[in-house]
Amino acid sequence: MGGRLDNKVAIVTGAGSVGEGIGNGKATAITFAREGAKVLLLDINLAAATETADIIQEAGGESLALSADVSSREDCASAVAYCLAQWRRVDILHNNVGIEIPGGLEDTSEAAWDKTLDVNLKGMFLMCQAAIKPMCSQRAGSIINTASINAIRTLPTRSLAYAVSKAGVIAMTRDVSVEYAGRGVRVNAVSPGMMATPFVTASLTDAYGGDVTSMMEKRDSLCPTGKQGESWDVANVALFLASDESTYITGETIVVDGAQSCKL
C-alpha cells in the first residue's frame, strides 16, 4: 500500500473486465485500493466486479462490489447513496464504463448509436450528477472521466458513435470543471490511445475475422512506440488525478497514447 489515497473513498464504474485480463477500470480500482482508498466497484456484471474485489481483498485493501447500469438514473443515485451509507463520503469518481460498436455513418444503426451514447456519455453525466452534491458538501472531490484519442483523431477501424460519445466526454469534462472549480471539485479526463485490454479484444475481434493475434500485431504497428499501452498506464494517470498531488489541475484531458495522436 502506497498511501497516496489514504482516508479517501472512491467509486469506479466499469470496475470489472469483459473477459480474461485486466482492463482500465479494473486496473484503476486495484491501484486506488493499493494506495489506501476504500473503493466501491460498479459493474453491470456483478461477477466481474466481485473478481476485482477479491483481488483487492487478497492484497489487504478494502472494497465493495455492486451491480449497476450507469445508463439508469436510479442505479447511479443508488450507487452513490450506498457508498455514503457505507463510508460517509465520496472523494473520487472514476467514470470508466464504455462500449464500442464498429461502424461508420451508413452502417451504424440507430439502436447502436443510442446504446453507445447512453452508456458512454449519458452514464458519465448521470454518475456526475449523483456524486456532485456530496463532493460539494465536502468542498473536495475529484472526478476522472475516461475519454479516448478517438475523440480527436479518426482511427483505422471506424466507430462513429464511439468517437462522438468520447468527444462528448471531453466537452462535458471541460464544462463541468468550470462550473464546480469554485466548490472544491476537480474534473479531468484521461484519453487512452490503443491499449491491449479485454475491452479491445471483445469490441474489435469481429473486425479482424476473429484473429486476435493479427489484430494485436496490427494495432502494435500503428503505435510509434511499437506496442500498445497497458491498463496500468491509464490507472497511473488516474491515480495522479485522484490524489492531492493534482489539486490545481482541473478541466484537463491527459492523453495516454505513446505519441500516437501526434502521428495520426
The grid coordinates listed for 125 are 453525466
CA–CA dist 112, 103 (Å, integer):
9
Q: Which three cell numbers stand for residue 1?
A: 500500500
CA angle at residue 197 from 195 to 198, to 5 degrees? 150
Report the C-alpha gap between 33 and 152 in whole angstroms.
32
* Spatial contact of 53 and 65, defined as CB atoms under 8 Å apart: yes
Secondary structure (3-state) at 79: helix
> Exactly one of 82, 162, 208, 248 is catalytic; which is it?
162
Active site residue 162: yes
**In 185-212, which positions are buried (b, 16+ CB within 10 angstroms) versus exposed (e)?**
bbbbbbbbbbbebbbbbebbeeebeeee
Helices (H), ranges, 59-196: 73-87, 110-117, 123-138, 160-180
Residue 181 near residue 140, CB atoms below 8 Å: no
- Which residues have a catalytic role annotated? 162
